[in-house]
Amino acid sequence: MFQHQNPNQTSPSNQWQLTLILSALCLILFSLFLTPSSAKSQSYSKFINLVESDRVEQVTISPNRLEYTLKSEGFADNSEQVFTTVPVTQDTELPKILRQHQVEFSATPANNDTWFWGFVQVLFFLFLLVNLGGLLIARRQQGGASPFAVGRSNARIYSEGSLDVTFDDVAGVDEAKTELYEIVDFLQNKTKYALLGAKIPKGVLLVGPPGTGKTLLAKAIAGEAGVPFFSISGSEFIEMFVGVGASRVRDLFERAKKQAPAIVFIDELDALGKSRASGGAFMGGNDEREQTLNQLLAEMDGFEPNTGVILLAATNRPEVLDPALLRPGRFDRQILVDRPDKSGRLAILEVHARNVSLAEDVDLDKLAARTPGFAGADLANLINEAALLAARNNRYAVTMADFNEASERILTGLEKRSRVLNETEKKTVAHHEVGHAIVGSLMPGTDRVEKISIVPRGIGALGYTLHLPEEDRFLMMEDEIRGRIATLLGGRAAEELIFGKVSTGASDDIQKATELAERYITLYGMSDRLGPIAFEKVQQQFLDGMTNPRRQVSPKVAEEIDLEVKAVIDGAYQTAKTTLLENRELLTALAQILLKQEVLEGEQLRSHLGQAQRNDLVDKWLQTGKLAQNNLLAPALSHNGKALKR
């Protein structure tokens, strides 16, 4: 790969074009000289009958055929009709019959050029075969895919020194870099390990969420060590033909051994190494995927640890991998490549901002604090989006405002000021978002409310409340989970409190609140009634948005789970309404300001939210998860949600 091509050398694509042009010319010549007559063919006996019935006008006799024309007079079809037939050998009576019926006839000499055009046909097909064979050989020599080489590996090969990625280009994953540097040292200093009798791991598995830099780390190892790098995706092994995947695995390892020391990297290993006990069609003994996996296991057993071939693989679904892949002697080492913390995000931002012109007001440390949960790919996208915004506004440097806007675009979607809301909708959205903000500002463990907006964004968001954490969090207490559920329901509670009815705008909030309440009961085991029992099976460790299936339980237990989830939701909703009833004047005032300005943020927003108060009933629920017996909230609200005078 990365070979210099002589400009005077005919490329395979040009050879194909030349072959097609010459073939087309030959076909045109054949159509001109060898195309048979369009006359219809008839039997010889029918021809004799037509002659005897005086329907034939003219006959042309050739050595291997007769061509005759029927008379047009007296027939329904007055158009000239020409037919051909094959004569009976040595029919000496034919001229006599033609004279008797006054049929005009003539003879044509034998075509002496027939042998020539037959010879041309043979040459034409030989020409095609030679050209096709030459093209296949040329593509094979240049490393191209041959139609007869379906069993060859499709791995992309980066030759020694062609990768310009090093560990300096990878940031935010210091622990993983430390672990992987041992691989680099082994490839550069094999003798040191051999003298000590140490064996380097045959395989290293990189696991972690999408976008955290697993593929980049693998390339950095090859770039640091200066060895050939074979890169292939797990899905590229599997084809519809049985045996192709296993053949490609064998070919990949054979090529890697020939160029050792080398690194083989298989991305998305779960596409190839899914557990054979997962059920379904995969249980078949002759399944193509299973054969390919078996061949991979055999190849990993077949090469010695110190041969210089290191197998790296990456996946974000380690829980579905076959246990045989993960045993010692195959993938000996698993390295977690997780989302970075604040210091890691800062390092990643500094790497991606090297070639970006930054304004003086840009604070990457502050930006790192505003982006918790962002992976390396997300931060790279953030830098690029900010640069695009600056270019769109004809600025010569990227400002902090560009980064803030880019961050909001990634989190909430593109701003859509063309989506015009009527007055009723604006009031509903304003009170809804302020309800989120007030409840969220009073709940424990919730992120700081940074911004409220009623400008529509994204696909369906008519407004949004932006929460930004002040620090990275790795644990959540049970009162904090309850507080988050109450915050999610704060928008709907505000609508019911102010307007006496609710809208469809809270549907996404209800969905998220219900999912969090279910995890509170079934996964975290925080229900006093059911106890610390996990009713969910964790199957997606690193992929967000995929729910975990519930364990098989009796109908009675399932009913109790549903009742507990409903109790958590009901308590959170009552708490949100209690909080907003306590701060009704603040809710109304903030909504009016938001209707005028459309956006509330920064110190102005925090000064207003600082006036919010939380009563003892809310504190009681947060601590115990139970509403107080003397809760005066229910009688404080009428059945239609309108607040009564206190």
Q: Write out the catalytic residue numbers.
A: 433
CA-to-CA separations, 461 to 456, 466, 573, in angstroms, rounded: 6, 12, 22
Structure token digits, residue 258:
């020939």
64 phi/psi in degrees, rounded to 5:
-120, 10
Degrees, nearest 5: CA angle 157-162-166 = 105
Burial class from Cβ neighbours inside 10 Å (0-12, 13-18, 19+) for residue 458 reads middle
Which uninterrupted H or E stretch holds 40?
strand 40-41
* CA gap 215, 315 in Å, rounded: 10
Degrees, nearest 5: CA angle 266-269-272 = 105
Contacts of 27 (CB under 8 A, 6+ apart): none
Cis peptide before 36 (omega within 30 of 0): no
Structure token digits, residue 463:
């407004």
Contacts of 99 (CB under 8 A, 6+ apart): none
* CA gap 532, 530 in Å, rounded: 7
Would you tell me the crossing angle of helices 490-499 and 507-522 to the nearest 10 degrees? 130
536 phi/psi in degrees, rounded to 5:
-120, 150
Burial class from Cβ neighbours inside 10 Å (0-12, 13-18, 19+) for residue 489 reads buried
Distance from chain centroid for Cα 541: 18
* Residue showing tokens 């010569």: 396
* Residue showing tokens 């995927």: 289
CA-to-CA separations, 330 to 205, 232, 238, 296, in angstroms, rounded: 10, 18, 21, 10
* Strand pairing category for 82-85 and 40-41: parallel
